[in-house]
Amino acid sequence: MELYYNIVSPPCQSVMLVAKKLGVTFNVKEVNPHVAEVREEIRKYNPQHTIPTFIEDGHVIFESYAIAIYLVEKYGKDDALYPKDAKVRSVVNQRLFFDNGVMFPSAIAYANCLLKQKKQPTQEMLDKLTKALGLLEGFIKERGSFVAATHLTIADICLLSSVTLLGGLKYDLEAYPAIKAWVGKVTGELPDYAAFRKELDEKSLAYIATL
């Protein structure tokens, strides 16, 4: 299994953390997708030339949620991370779509404004992010400790990567106690998370220095 990947990318983080939870290892190709030659290399497999891009025996998957689902369905010892029960799975899917359409876009817009554009986010950006975090806070309170079920699912792992992005920017989460407790709960269930986070922090600082 090969994975075109960069730890600074939240979608890549999601795939790697799901794999770690499953005990799956990749032949990791750590790349910078902003480099023209790298884009052309990835384009051979993925017309969107995005990361993560996953390849197994000639089978190519891109988009982090699709990769995560594939890994769980093929390599999971059970269905805990992506439950087969239709009602529970529908909630997991809803939370994944929420991350894709609401949480991650609002978090990455905030981050890009600060880091790439070197300016303060607009009020509209702040409002969207506040709304997204408020919804996530509500989802966690509704379920107890996790976002979609009574236990860890891939929805928690994917949403964790979006929230981790904000944490790296020192975004104040004091107004969201359920989210803060949830971060601790989720990271506590992920193998070798401390080492993963150390690498993420180091490479994020190096990346920011190049902007």
**Helix %, strand %, coil % for the chain, to 5?**
60, 10, 30
pLDDT digits (tens, 9 = 90+) for 139-153: 999 999 999 999 999
Superfamily of domain 2-77: Glutaredoxin (3.40.30.10)
Integer angstrom CA distances of residue 43 from 46, 57, 63, 92: 5, 17, 14, 31
Q: How far does the chain reach from its first CA to its final CA, in angstroms?
A: 32
Structure tokens at 118: 């070197």
**Residues 130, 137: contact at Cβ < 8 Å?**
no
Q: Please tell me the predicted confidence (pLDDT) of residue 168.
A: 86
pLDDT digits (tens, 9 = 90+) for 56-67: 999 999 999 999
Confidence category of residue 37, pLDDT binned at 50, 70, 90: very high
When pLDDT is averaged across residues 111-129 and rounded to a whole number, the result is: 94
pLDDT digits (tens, 9 = 90+) for 68-113: 999 999 999 999 999 999 999 999 999 999 999 999 999 999 999 9
- Measured torsion, CA atoms of residues 208, 54, 77, 137, in degrees rounded to the nearest 10: 40
Catalytic residue among 9, 106, 161, 162: 9
Q: What is the Cα gyration radius of the chain? A: 17
pLDDT digits (tens, 9 = 90+) for 146-175: 999 999 999 999 999 999 999 889 899 999
Rounded CA-CA distance 197/193 in Å is 6
Q: Please tell me the predicted confidence (pLDDT) of residue 102.
A: 98
pTM attached to this predicted model: 0.95
Q: Please tell me the predicted confidence (pLDDT) of residue 210.
A: 86
Please report, for the chain, the start and end positions of each structural domain, with discontinuous segments joined by +.
2-77, 86-189
Q: Please tell me the predicted confidence (pLDDT) of residue 6.
A: 96
- Quote the DSSP letter at residue 55: E
145 part of the active site: no
Q: Chain-wide mean pLDDT for the chain?
A: 96
Q: Please tell me the predicted confidence (pLDDT) of residue 66.
A: 98
Rounded CA-CA distance 103/64 in Å is 15
When pLDDT is averaged across residues 126-140 and rounded to a whole number, the result is: 98
pLDDT for residue 7 is more than 90:
yes
- Measured torsion, CA atoms of residues 11, 140, 95, 192, in degrees rounded to the nearest 10: 30
Q: Please tell me the predicted confidence (pLDDT) of residue 208.
A: 86
> In 3D, which of 203, 211, 206 has the Cα closest to residue 6?
203
Residues 6 or more apart in contact with residue 18 via CB below 8 angstroms: 67, 68, 71, 72, 81, 154, 157
Q: Which amino acid is at 189?
A: E
User: Which of 3.30.200.20, 1.10.3720.10, 1.20.1050.10, 3.10.180.10 is the CATH number of 86-189?
Assistant: 1.20.1050.10
